[in-house]
Structure 1
Amino acid sequence: EKFFHTCQGKICKSKPKSEVTPDPDEAPTEEDDQLLQQQIKAAITIQKAWRGALVRRSLKLATNCALIIQRWWRKTLQHALDKRKIKALVMYIWPEKSTVLLQSLFRMWLMKTRYKKYQKAAYVIQNHWRNYCFVKASSTYSLNNLAHEGIDLNIEIVVG
């Protein structure tokens, strides 16, 4: 009875253990040599498959490690680049902001000065107008005006 087993998709013949142990008196036959060659080829195929699996596994591990390192390095570089961008932006914004602030303060001072000037002019105009109105109103009640209207303000004082 012959036994068959599969090695990497190939069918290999094998003998039971009782037949595998050679008899010291018997010389190996050609069939035994072919069977031995097939078993050697099967063993080599299994070893190749196993070594390939080990190499693929170690290659996958090395690739994953390299990807992790690359990801970390890219993240570190991006972080440094972001820091430089922020620093450059701040270095640009501060002078820009201070310029705008100075312009704003100057314009505020200028408007305040103009306002005070116009306020003073309005105050002067108001005082002159009030003075004019007062003089006009008081001239109607002046003695000269009353005399012209025919009112005699001369009072005779009799003592005696």
Structure 2
Amino acid sequence: MKSPHQRVMEICREPYTAFIKRSEGGWEMEKSDPDYDALEKERQKLLLAKQRQRARANAAGKIQAWWRGTLVRRTLLVAALRAWMIQIWWRTLTWRCVRKHHQALLKTYIIQEQAAVKLQSWVRMWQCHQRYCQMSNAVCILQAPNCCFDFQTNDVLQPQYKGTSNQLEFHIEILSV
């Protein structure tokens, strides 16, 4: 059995016995062969079959293009999701790094502030101690044994100690005679 393409080629090779003549409306063909109509129908069938085959090939091409596009879109979606996950991982990593850096800076600041507070408290305590020593020396000078003023030690200096959990308050009252 011959394929439609081979049959069309055979028909095209066969010599037609039709005559073409010019008429008032254009060119006309006169038939001289009784099989001309059968051959023309066969040729029309083959052309129609060829057109259908082309249409099927075009439809198959469109379906294949759609499928390839779907595969490409799917691949691109997977790649985009992976890139998104990598971006999330990177942002988390950099955020953690920045947070650790901030915490280190905060610890350094806290240590410096605590050291400054401690130094200030030592200086204030030293100043209080110096004032206390000056007052004690002044009282001792006033309490000379040959002097007519005789003070009792409990009356002269009455230190008051108030201790709290964080701060020690120290008050001295000097009573005059």
**TM-score category, normalised to shorter length:** 0.5 to 0.7
Distance 2:138 2:71 in 1: 98
Deviations 1:66-104 (A, max 9, x none): 110111011111211221222233234323431221122
* 1:40 corresponding residue in structure 2: 57
1:58 and 2:75 matched: yes
Q: TM-score, normalised by structure 2?
A: 0.51
Higher relative contact order (CA 8 A, sep 6+): 1
What's the offset of the Cα at 1:41? 0.4
* 2:94 corresponding residue in structure 1: 77
1:101 and 2:118 matched: yes
Distance 2:119 2:62 in 1: 84
Q: How many residues align?
A: 110
Distance 1:61 1:25 in 2: 46
What's the offset of the Cα at 1:51? 0.7
Q: TM-score, normalised by structure 1?
A: 0.56
Deviations 1:92-132 (A, max 9, x none): 43234312211221112211331353356457768978638
* Percent identity of paired positions between Structure 1 and Structure 2: 33
* 2:134 corresponding residue in structure 1: 117
* 1:151 corresponding residue in structure 2: none
Q: Do the aligned partners of residues 48 and 131 (structure 1) sit closer, same or farther apart at CA in structure 2, a change above 3 Å counting? A: same
- AA in 1 matched with 2:110: I
Equivalent residues in 2 for 1:125-140, closer than 5 Å: 131=150
Unpaired runs of 5+ in structure 1?
1-22, 133-160
CA RMSD of aligned residues (A): 2.9
